[in-house]
Structure formats: C-alpha cells, structure tokens
Structure 1
Amino acid sequence: MASPDYRHSVVLEPEPEPYKAWWRICSYVEQRRWNTQFGANTPVEILAALTDALLAPVPETTPEIWTPLTAAGWTYERDARGNESATHPDGIMSLSRRSLDPGEHFLWTAEARHDYGDTQALIWHAYLDDRMPTHLISAFTTALASSEPVQRGMYDVPHAHLVSQVQRGPQGKELADAHEARLKGARAAACKARRSAAPSTRGAPAPATAPPSTAARIR
C-alpha cells in the first residue's frame, strides 16, 4: 500500500521463517527518510497503532516515548553513552534504543522472548528507525504498553501456553461489523488528511485576464 502522496508505504512480504521481516513501513520524505520492519508474529494491534498515527495530524506538543512503558510498570535504564532500554515486569518483552559507537545512528529494537531452560526463544521482534517522527515512536510504545485484551481465534496464537484465552467480546457478525467500522474510520481519517494537506484555493484572487494577442488585434 502507498499513501496518496507516495510519501509512505506499507509492505507485507511473507517469508518461510516467521521471525524474519514480514512487514515494512517506510517514509520517502527526502529530508527524513526512515523505515521500520516487523516479524510475522508482531501483534497486529501494534502495527495498527503505528499506521493510525500516520493518518492522524501531527500533535502540537512532543509526546513522551518512555512514559507509557514506565507507567505500566516497565523498568527503565540509561547508560553513560545514551543507550536506553525498558523491560516488562515478566521479563518477556523489552525495548531498547542503542548505538554501537558514540555518535553513531541509534536503532530501536523491540522483542518478546521466552526462556526455555538455558535458552531463549524469540516470539516476535520489531526494528524502528531513530529518524522516525517522535509521535510515531510514541504511538508504538503506547501500544506496546497496553494491557487491553486482544481478539484472536481460540488457540490461533503462537506459543499458546503463554497466554490465557477467554471466549468473550464480539463474535461472528459483531466482530465483522466492528472491523468494517474500523476500516470506515481509517478511510475517513485518510480523506481528512488529504484535504488538510491539499493547498487551499478558496478565496484566492482570480487570475488576471490575458491581453489579446497581436494576431487577435490584427483580425
């Protein structure tokens, strides 16, 4: 998918390995190009929070990035070189902003891992570009910190032993209607964003009438 102005794209490229990059969201704004990538098992609610933020107007104030996580009980650390990280209380999920060398470009990494004895198994991962606008990274961390239950088919989740499933919430047609309502809302937001970005012509002075050409005067 590409935005109407071709400034952003959302790409799904399934791979045989679910832990490779399946999803990519890219920006082609010349002064601030950036891209993100997500594994197949990345919760769709997190992806949706990021794409919704692309449609929404840029906030007037700079939103907090780490506060949604620390408010949800995540532990936060920052070292002397400016590297930052936060970890969920259960230790499964983490987010880091790190650079290998001082002064080099930072990279955001989000991961969900689970211990199996002496090894750790990757559940899902995401990589974010530090050049992304702050409000987009904030939308990602806010979704990452959310504890709201999500809709999934019974047992249709990776590592099902790590989650608790309860049959509740919208079912059947209600779920389909809720999905259609979300799509309509996204389309309306996209149309509003296009109208806001389009240069206004209302109230502009009428163009001056061109003088008759020499050939016209001769006739």
Structure 2
Amino acid sequence: MTQQSTRQETTSKKRCHWCTNDELYIRYHDEEWGVPCHDDQTLFEFLILEGAQAGLNWLAILKRREGYRNALAGFDVQKVARFDEADVERLLNDKGIIRNRLKINSAITNARAFIKVQQEFGSFDAYIWQFVNHHPIINHWQTMDEVPVTTPESDAMSKDLKKRGFKYVGSTICYAYMQAMGMVNDHITSCTSYKIGVERVSPEAC
C-alpha cells in the first residue's frame, strides 16, 4: 500500500467527533482508545497520564507522552515507587512533562498504591477490571453528546481507589480511564472503530 493510499484510507475513516485531524490523535483513536487492556505496565501508564490531564486537554498529554516515558523510567512502577524528593525536584525542571508538584507527587504515591494492589490481587488488571465484571461494557451512543462523564462503575472505582490511597482519581478521571483502557466501548456507532471494538470483545477474545 502506497503512502498516498494509506493517507486516503485514514482520511476516509469515520471517527468519533472528538478526534481532530492531528496525526497523533488519529493514531490514538484508531489504535488505542477503547481497546481492552490487561497489561499492568500500560494500565499504570494511563493511570498516571489520566491524572496528569486534569484541567488540561488530552492532546496536550499525548504530545508529552514520550516525555513522561523518559521522566518516569518507562513507566516502570517499581522504579517510580522508589522516587524521592530529589526525583521530584528533577521532574519539576523537566520540560517534557506537566511540571505540577501535586501531579508529580501523585504519580509516586499512585505507584506505591499500585504495587500494593498488585500484591493483594496478583495484578492490577485483576483488580481494576472487577469494576466492569471483567468484561467490557459495550455502549451504543449515536452522538458524543450522549456519552456520560461518570457512571456508577466509575463512581465505585473512584471511591475504592481513593480508599486505597490513590490520588487524582475522581469519578470523571476514572471514567476517562475506563474509556481509554477499553473497559467501556464509547466509540459512537457510526465510528469505524465501534464495530471493530464490538468484534474485539467477543467472549473468546476476553
């Protein structure tokens, strides 16, 4: 397939209205958003990135994703959990990430809480997916206006994460996390990725 035909195919795809023409956003929408994730390292990565997004737009975080990867030891939860005040000061001077002390401290706090969950449940995956009964919720939204910002599931997740010491895990952030990690399929029904998502979460795939 030529570069031109690939570009034409990318342009012709129907996508959720929030997906702009930014190439980074398109790749994220087509390849990651709503894809069921059961990998603990990726689950940790997005827990940090969703918390960093608070008060900002997601594209701003995507553009700094590589910066976060470099700053946070490739999202190695064990290494981040060992970060100390010197690391906090280093991160506050890192232009590749959002330089907010509360968010930086929360990344370290969440890494330590994440490890405790892994120790209790065997994996963070086993813990977090219980909030959707270990199977993705398939929604049938026709417009983005129908998509909620919180649900009873995200409320329950937020409440339990807070109880376990996690920070930046309000219900809205938790629901965005659920969408990103494929715990819910919130692609609108006219989006090309919607049907792919429905097929992907067949009982055999999960």
Alignment TM-score, normalising by the size of structure 1: 0.25
Is the strand fraction higher in 1 or 2? 1
Is the helix fraction higher in 1 or 2? 2
Larger radius of gyration: 1
Higher relative contact order (CA 8 A, sep 6+): 2
Alignment TM-score, normalising by the size of structure 2: 0.26
